[in-house]
Structure formats: C-alpha cells, structure tokens
Amino acid sequence: MSESIIRRINELSQAARMLALIGAALKLRNADAGDPAIRQEIDAGLRLVLGSADIAIADAELTPLLTKIDMALTESAELFKHPARSAGWQVEDQDLLLAMGRASGQAFGRILALAESRPSLRKALDGLFLDVGTGVGGIALAAAQSCPRLRIDAIDIWEPALRLAADSVAASGHAARIQLRKRDVTELEAGPRYTLAWLPTMFLKRSVLNQAVDRIVAASRSGSWLVAPIYTVPDEPFAALMSSLRTLRGGGELRDPAELTTLLRSRGYGNIEVDIGPISSFVIGRLA
C-alpha cells in the first residue's frame, strides 16, 4: 500500500476520533459527572481540536449538534460492520435505530416551521397525523409534545423498532394520543380521517411508493397535507455519493424531488413545494 493512502487513512481515523471527542465534550458540557481526570483530558483534546475548551453554543443548538454527531458515528459504524447486507430496511442495531429516531424527531420541527406561514397546514396539526415508518417513534413523540390537540397513528412493519417505540411512548406521558400499530402502509384502511401524513420515500421502492400514496389518499380528508421527505443530493461529490448510498441501503429508489412532485400531482395533490434541507428535502402538497 502506498504511503499516501496510509497517510490519508491515518488522517481520517484521527478525524473520526476528533468528532467523537467533540461529541463527548458536548455531552459533558452541562453535566456534573465523569472522572475529573478524564474530563480534563477531554477538555485538553477539545482545545487541540477547536482551539478552545469553551464552545460558545446556545442550549437550543446543543441537541441538534449532538444528534448530527451521533448519526454520523453510528451510521458510519453500521456501514463498516455490515457492508454486505442487502438493500432494504433491516437494521437491528439498537444504537442506530435510536440515533435515527432522535434525528427524525427533529424533522417535525421543520413541519412546525412550514405551518407558521401556511394556515391550512397549521390547522391540520389539530387533527389526526399518520406517521408512516414511525421507527422508534421519534416523529410521533415530537408531534405529540409540540401539538397538544394532535392525535397520532404511528405505523411500521419493523418489530425491533416498534418494541423500542412502545417503551418510549409508554414513558412519554403521551400514550393516550399515540396509537402504535404494526401495519404496512399499502394495507392502510380506506376512509377519510387523516389531516396530515408523513411518508418517508427514501425507504420505499417505486412500486410500493405508488401504492402507499394511493392508500394515503384514500384514508385522508379533503384538504389534508402530505409531507414526503427524500434525501437531499448535495453538490459536493462525496456527500452526493453518501446520499445515494443511504437511499439504496435503506431500500429506496427515488432520488429526484421532481419525480416525487409529479407522482403527488397525479394523485390529486396541489400547492406542491420542495423545502430543501441539508440531509433531507420535504416535498409537501395539499389534497384537493
């Protein structure tokens, strides 16, 4: 192996450890815990990495930053440990499931932000929310906490995630408004009841996605909203490659918001917009 490759691997290995050290320092920032000698070393490491042990971060920014670091480290570890696993959602690693749940929970904050300038979407937050692919319940719990009148129908087919979700919901104080069910979205019962639906397209084959949208339409009220996230494809080549890999390993196929927009429009959705985020972009529309 050439010296340049070895040098590059050494650099990246050190970068991974630096990211872990920053995350550790952030976790300990407001905590009175840990061995003082170890904390001293972590602070010393932080000064080496960032030039200061005093990171000027507002409390409101702390959780999103920790979630980003958590996701980067756990997702990378899962890829390294299981590079040969087939496409599709088959993750059993509890740490990765919980990390993804924490990350997805923040997505509901984006829905709230979109609702601020869209009165009909804001009104939908007082009705019945369909959380497709709820996983460990991150979005369902965030929705229940943020919207006291919203009821949530949270469905998934992956039992390892649903078991974790059941524990979290039971401990949350919101169990009365969150119904967890093992249910495939393509088998969703008809009948107009949902005012808002979340459909993570990055985990669905095109054929399944078509069926899923049909079933959601059949189960939604007139004027209801659909939020369909899709992984953002950045301009930077490596980030774009990772976005594509994340979609493929998750079992998805769709990567172009324009294709998703066409699909929703063909099913009767209007007022379609694309809200671009660093990790995922939301394609949102309102049913006629």
The alpha carbon of residue 92 and the mean position of all alpha carbons in its chain are separated, in whole angstroms, by 16
**288 exposed, middle or buried (CB, 10 Å; 0-12, 13-18, 19+)?**
exposed
Q: Which domain holds residue 113?
A: 94-287
Q: What ranges make up the beta strands (E) of 133-213?
A: 151-156, 178-182, 194-198
Q: How many other CB atoms sit within 10 Å of the CB of residue 166? A: 15
Predicted TM-score (pTM) of the model is: 0.86
Is residue 269 within 8 A of residue 216, CB to CB? The reply is no
Give the strand order in the sheet containing 220-231: 178-182, 151-156, 128-132, 194-198, 220-231, 280-287, 269-275
Look at the chain and report how many structural domains it folds into. 2
For the stretch 72-89, pLDDT in tens is 998 899 899 889 888 776
Same domain, 160 and 241: yes
Same domain, 150 and 278: yes
For the stretch 8-54, pLDDT in tens is 999 999 999 999 999 999 888 877 777 889 999 998 999 999 887 67
Q: What ranges make up the beta strands (E) of 109-187?
A: 128-132, 151-156, 178-182
Same domain, 122 and 19: no
CATH number at residue 217: 3.40.50.150
Residue given tokens 């509901």 in the structure block: 108
Same domain, 32 and 172: no
Same domain, 268 and 163: yes
Same domain, 9 and 118: no
Residue 182 belongs to a domain: yes
Same domain, 120 and 30: no
